[in-house]
Amino acid sequence: MIKQDYKPQNNQEFSRSSLKSSFPKWLTHPFLIIGMAVCILLLALVLSDSDKKSDAILVVEEVNNIVEQKKRYSTPVEINLELKNNTATQPQATPIAASPVLSVQDEWLSESVKKGDNLSLIFKRIGLTPQQVHQVITLDDNTQLLKRLKPGEVISYKLDDNNNLLALKYIINIQQTLYIDLLDEQLSSRIENKSIEYRTAYAQGKIDDSLFMAGKKAGLTDTQVMQLANIFDWDIDFILDIRKGDSFSMLYQEEYVEGEKIGNGAILAAEFINQGKRFSAVRYTDEKDNSSYYTPQGLSMRKAFLRAPLKFSYISSNFKPRRFHPILKRWKAHKGIDYRASTGTPIRAAGDGRVIASSYSKYNGKYVFIQHGQGIVTKYLHMSRRAVSKNKRVKQGQVIGYVGATGLAEAPHLHYEFLVNGVHRNPRTVKLPKAKPIDKAEKDRFLKTTKPWIEQLASRNQLLNNEETIAP
Ligand SMILES: [Zn+2]
C-alpha cells in the first residue's frame, strides 16, 4: 500500500526543475505524514514479526530500527505513540523531504577517472581545450596532484555557458580536497583540510588462544595488537610468557572526519595482566612534542633490555599457549632460551651495545655476541644469516641476523643467552637495570595530563568486573 503511494514519485525523471515543481504542497501536510508513518509502522511491525529484513524501502528499515530499540525499553502501546512523534518530527526520513538538495543553482558536474586516464583526456571529454589543461596544471604546486589521478577518482567541475572553467573540485583523500576557483578572471587553488575529530574508545580482552585472536575478539586490528605489545616489550616476553587467562585493556583514539571513522589513533592507556602480574602504561607527549609510554608513576616503559630478542608479531599469530612446554627446564639444561621460529625470522638486539663476535662455529652455527653496559653480554646462535659485523655498534631492536638451523640445531630456532659478568642468567627472571623516571621538569605536567586516562581505564575495567560478578 505504502509502496504504491510512493510509486509515481519514484518513477519520475529526477531532473532538478521537474522534481521541485512536481511535489504538490498537500504531500508535505503534517497529517499526511503522520498517516503515512502509521502505515509504515504497521508494515514494519509485520516485517519485524516475520523476522525478515526488508530492503524495499529505506524508511521501513528506519522505523524498524526504532521499533527494535523501543522494544527493549517499553510496551508496544508506548511504541505506537512515540513512533508517531518521532516520524512527525523527522520529516527528513521520508523521500519527499530529501529532495531540496537537488535544487542548488550551479550544480557540480562530475567525471570519473578511468583506467589510463589523465587530465587532458578528461578535459577533452567535458569540452575543454588543451590550453585550459595547461592553465590548470601549471597553476601552482597544488594542481600537480592532478597529474597523478587514479582510476575511480572523481573530478567535479562547474562551467559557464562559454565553457570557461568556473571551479574544479578533486577529493585527494578523506581529509583533503583540492579546489580551483575562478576569481576575478584568475584561477586560484586551495586545499581544504577537514579536521580530524578524536574520540576515545575502550577495548579489553582475555587470552584464550593467542593475543592476536583475543585482540580480534576485542575489536582491535592486528596493528593495534602489535602497538599494544610494543608498549610492554620491555616487561613481557610475548612469545614465551603469554598464558591462557592473561588479559588486557586499553583506551585508544579513534579518528573521525565528519562523523565517519577513518582510522585508529594512538593507545592512550593500557594494562596487561600476564600470569597474574599487572603492568600499566600511559602515553605522554612531553613539551618538546615527543610521545612515549610511562608507568602511571612516571617511569619510562623503555628499559635497557627487551624481554625477547624476536618480535612476537612474526611468531605468535599461530601460537597456542596450551601447547607451551616449560622453558625453565630447558634453560637449566643448556643455559639459554630457545625460540622456535621459522627460518628468516628477524632477530633483534636486546639492547644497545657493540658487536664483539660475528662468526661461525661447528656448534653455534652462525652467531653474534653483543657487549652491553654493566657487564652484560647477549648471545644469539644458529642464525641462517648474520646482519652485523664485529665491532659495529648496534641499537636496541636493530636487526642483527635471521633465525636458522646452522651448527648443532635440529630445527630452525634462536638460541639466546644472557650473561652478567660472565655468568649465565635467565633473561626472563634476571633483575634488569631500572627504568628511567620522567624528567623532573615534566613530572607535574605528566601527572596532570595522564591522570584522566588512567582513571578512565580503571573505571571502565571496574565496571566490567562488576558486570562479570553480577552475571550468573
Ligand atoms: Zn638452545
194-223 confidence digits (pLDDT tens): 999 999 999 999 999 889 999 999 999 999
Query: Sign of torsion, CA 5 8 13 16?
Result: negative
How far does the centroid of ligand 1 lie from the alpha carbon of residue 378, in Å? 13
Does the pLDDT of residue 358 top 90, yes or no?
yes
Does the pLDDT of residue 68 top 90, yes or no?
no
The pLDDT score that the predictor gives to residue 100 is 38
How far does the centroid of ligand 1 lie from the alpha carbon of residue 350, in Å? 17
C-alpha 148/C-alpha 330 separation (Å) is 57
Does the pLDDT of residue 163 top 90, yes or no?
no
Q: What is the CATH number assigned to the segment(s) 197-303?
A: 3.10.450.350
Are 106-193 and 197-303 equal in CATH topology? yes
How far does the centroid of ligand 1 lie from the alpha carbon of residue 335, in Å? 8
Query: Sign of torsion, CA 382 388 394 398?
Result: negative
How far does the centroid of ligand 1 lie from the alpha carbon of residue 235, in Å? 22
pTM: 0.66
- With CA atoms as reference, report the closest residue to 82 among 96, 94, 95, 68: 68
Q: What is the CATH number assigned to the segment(s) 313-425?
A: 2.70.70.10
| Contact of 250 with 271, CB cutoff 8 Å | yes
Structural domain spans, the chain: 2-102, 106-193, 197-303, 313-425
Does the pLDDT of residue 74 top 50, yes or no?
no
The pLDDT score that the predictor gives to residue 162 is 85
How far does the centroid of ligand 1 lie from the alpha carbon of residue 239, in Å? 15
Does the pLDDT of residue 317 top 90, yes or no?
no
How far does the centroid of ligand 1 lie from the alpha carbon of residue 213, in Å? 29
How far does the centroid of ligand 1 lie from the alpha carbon of residue 382, in Å? 9
100 CB burial (10 A radius; 0-12, 13-18, 19+): exposed
How far does the centroid of ligand 1 lie from the alpha carbon of residue 308, in Å? 14
Q: What is residue 105's DSSP assignment?
A: S
How far does the centroid of ligand 1 lie from the alpha carbon of residue 342, in Å? 15
Does the pLDDT of residue 157 top 50, yes or no?
yes
Per the document, the length of the chain is: 472
The torsion region of residue 163 among left (phi > 0), alpha (psi -120 to 50) and beta comes to left
Query: Sign of torsion, CA 462 463 464 467?
Result: positive
Cα dihedral 296/299/303/308 (nearest 10): -20
| Contact of 136 with 187, CB cutoff 8 Å | yes
C-alpha 167/C-alpha 157 separation (Å) is 5
The pLDDT score that the predictor gives to residue 174 is 86
Query: Sign of torsion, CA 69 72 76 81?
Result: negative
Please, which residues bridge with residue 425 across strands? 418
Cα dihedral 125/130/131/135 (nearest 10): 80
Does the pLDDT of residue 102 top 80, yes or no?
no
How far does the centroid of ligand 1 lie from the alpha carbon of residue 329, in Å? 12
How far does the centroid of ligand 1 lie from the alpha carbon of residue 380, in Å? 10
Task: Dig out the grid coordinates for 136 from the structure.
Answer: 590548470
Q: What is the CATH number assigned to the segment(s) 106-193?
A: 3.10.450.350
How far does the centroid of ligand 1 lie from the alpha carbon of residue 419, in Å? 15
| Contact of 430 with 420, CB cutoff 8 Å | yes
Max mean pLDDT among 88-97, 128-137, 138-147, 353-362 falls in 353-362
How far does the centroid of ligand 1 lie from the alpha carbon of residue 413, in Å? 8
- With CA atoms as reference, report the closest residue to 165 among 223, 229, 211, 111: 111
How far does the centroid of ligand 1 lie from the alpha carbon of residue 403, in Å? 12
How far does the centroid of ligand 1 lie from the alpha carbon of residue 157, in Å? 67
How far does the centroid of ligand 1 lie from the alpha carbon of residue 414, in Å? 7
The CA angle 301-307-311, to the nearest 5 degrees, is: 100
C-alpha 285/C-alpha 291 separation (Å) is 4
Q: In the chain, what percentage of residues exceed pLDDT 90?
A: 58
How far does the centroid of ligand 1 lie from the alpha carbon of residue 372, in Å? 21
| Contact of 287 with 442, CB cutoff 8 Å | yes
